[in-house]
Amino acid sequence: MVYVDDMKAWFGRMIMCHMIADTEAELHEMAGRIGIAHRWYQGDHYDISLSRRALAVAAGAAEITLRQCGVMVMRRRATGSLGLPGDAFEWFKTRKLEK
């Protein structure tokens, strides 16, 4: 599954957000589909403009919040899996309690 967050950060004249996915293959496939060059790959995500975000959503990407995106990326670094947006905060709370 591919996800796009609701971040709105200025980059020049564009407003950007993040695009992440369960696998690199899914992420790169979506990037190609919406016209994002591989050179913009950030190691685990793409920063995409709001117009490209709309294309990604139209192509099936799920909309998530910036906070969900951050926790999901943290989860992947800890477990190897993004998990689901709906349980991201519960995972984070559980992780904090374990420490």
Give how many domains the chain has, as a whole number: 1
The answer to whether the beta carbons of residues 60 and 2 sit under 8 Å apart is yes
Residues in the chain: 99
CB contact set of 61 (below 8 Å; sequence gap of 6+): 2, 3, 4, 19, 30, 53
Q: Which pLDDT does position 98 carry in this prediction?
A: 62
Q: Which pLDDT does position 99 carry in this prediction?
A: 55
Continuous H helices in the chain:
24-33, 50-58, 66-79, 88-98
Give per-residue pLDDT as tens, 3-50. Answer: 999 999 999 999 999 999 999 999 999 999 999 999 999 999 999 999
How close are the terminal C-alpha atoms of the chain, in Å?
A: 30
Q: Which range of residues forms the domain containing residue 65?
A: 2-98
